[in-house]
Structure 1
Amino acid sequence: MSNIVDPLVRQIAARVRAERERRRWTLAQLAEASGVSQAMISRIEREESSPTAVVLGKLSAAFQLSVSSLLASAEGEAAAEVEGEGEGERVRVRVRREADAAVWRDPETGYRRRQITSPRFPTEIAEIRLPAGAQVPYPAAAFAFIRQLVWVLDGQLTFHEGDLVHHLHPGDTIELGEPAPRVFVNDTDTECRYVVVLARHPQP
């Protein structure tokens, strides 16, 4: 068996452990706050298991962080700084090549998430590819203090927001309101590709 650990698995493990320790939580306390078993959290932190999208959603809810934040590298991302001229002074532009972007894959559903913006950018943007027949649920707490927009690019997305169901097609967008349990569903036989735009807002 290979001992090579996927860099994203290592990255998630370090971020979960750091967020837990920053709050001075024990494994048992995080398990209670998130609804994820203590054994599973321990395996994630020891880089023995890659969390599913559902587990990431529960952990992000417990930490009051976005899923993107848990996937973000504490050491930054591959990028090049390009110098140019603007408004009479030199400006720096961060160029992120598609080939350098880390893509996280849910081991359970095959859901793929590619972060478009860097941790330095004030708004989080991610591209999602949801395989045919897959569904990913998130608890209401995962959307606390967050404003989110979903923009469908290809395929069809069936979006459950509490008791409401929305059928979204290419070009459709939906701006999410108050936190509610949500499920992203692809009940077709082709992949659905959509963009998630997320911004934090202060606690009321």
Structure 2
Amino acid sequence: MPAPDDLALAIGARVREERRRRDWTLDQLAEASTVSRRMLVTVEQGAANPSIATLLRLSDALGIGLPELVAPPRSAAAEITRAGTGALLWQGEHGGRGVLVATSPGPLVHELWHWTMQPGDQLASDPHRPGCRELLQVLEGAVVLAVGDERHELAAGDAIAFAGDEPHVYSCAGDAPAAFSMTVLEPAGPAAEPGTPTTHVARS
């Protein structure tokens, strides 16, 4: 798995590159993404490990999608993510981990994630971009998934498809660790103009 500092430097370079390609100032990107100018400076310098929520705001504002923001440059028709080399983008308070292990570019962006959660870990998400769908299969333990007003209890082997453009919460159920794989399918969107509110708010 890439060292956090290496990932932060790569993300910072990509944000700076995309901002300059649009001829945007830091203030313009801050306005479009609702990420503070101070945070943008630290991100572009590679001095911060931004949360998934921050990464999503930046990817929405730049119109490139989360996978393109965090992935290394593409150089082949087939790309392999070796065990332990995925991008660690979430860490739970009790030791859980969310790793982005594979991606595919748009127009329909695909993200493949591997999640582990310890008892007490929970991940709350605001709605993603309209049209987003998520597919989840529990590999070990048990997971409670709340989507809008619905609550679903999932055991090992269970799978669910649901609307990612609804508020949703993943929780480790019971006293044993849980693991699940998840695929996110999200329509790619154009870059936001400065001053345009983003709809893809947070995933952590």
Offset from partner CA, 1:102-160 (integer Å, 9 cap, x none): 341536645423333354797432212233322333332x3335332122212222223
Aligned residues: 184
Q: What is the Cα-based RMSD across aligned positions, in Å?
A: 3.4
User: Is the Cα–Cα contact under 8 Å of residues 141 and 177 in structure 2 kept in the other structure?
Assistant: yes
Normalised by the size of structure 2, how large is the TM-score?
0.69
User: Is the Cα–Cα contact under 8 Å of residues 61 and 144 in structure 1 kept in the other structure?
Assistant: no
**Structure with the larger RCO, 1 or 2 (CA within 8 Å, 6+ apart):** 2
Partner of 2:193: none
Offset from partner CA, 1:3-54 (integer Å, 9 cap, x none): x972111122223333333444433333333333222222111111101233
Partner of 1:161: 147
1:178/1:134 Cα in 2 relative to 1: closer, same or farther (>3 Å)? closer
Partner of 1:171: 157
CA distance in 2, matches of 1:61, 1:136: 20
1:39/1:186 Cα in 2 relative to 1: closer, same or farther (>3 Å)? farther
User: Is the Cα–Cα contact under 8 Å of residues 138 and 183 in structure 1 kept in the other structure?
Assistant: yes
1:174/1:132 Cα in 2 relative to 1: closer, same or farther (>3 Å)? same
* 1:198 is aligned to 2:197: no
Residue type at the aligned position of 1:35: T
The structure number with the bigger radius of gyration is 1
Any unmatched runs of 5+ in structure 2?
190-204
Partner of 1:7: 6
User: Is the Cα–Cα contact under 8 Å of residues 104 and 113 in structure 1 kept in the other structure?
Assistant: yes
Partner of 2:70: 71
Partner of 2:126: 139
Match of 1:115 among 96, 100, 103: 100
* 1:38 is aligned to 2:25: no
> Per the alignment, in what secondary structure is the counterpart of residue 48 of structure 1?
coil
CA distance in 1, matches of 2:165, 2:103: 25
User: Is the Cα–Cα contact under 8 Å of residues 43 and 50 in structure 2 kept in the other structure?
Assistant: yes
Match of 2:88 among 104, 107, 127: 104
CA distance in 2, matches of 1:115, 1:5: 14
1:95/1:42 Cα in 2 relative to 1: closer, same or farther (>3 Å)? closer
Partner of 1:127: 114
Residue type at the aligned position of 2:115: I
User: Is the Cα–Cα contact under 8 Å of residues 128 and 193 in structure 1 kept in the other structure?
Assistant: yes
CA distance in 2, matches of 1:23, 1:69: 16
Distance apart, 1:75 and its partner CA: 5.1
Normalised by the size of structure 1, how large is the TM-score?
0.69
CA distance in 2, matches of 1:97, 1:178: 27
Any unmatched runs of 5+ in structure 1?
82-91
> Per the alignment, in what secondary structure is the counterpart of residue 39 of structure 1?
helix
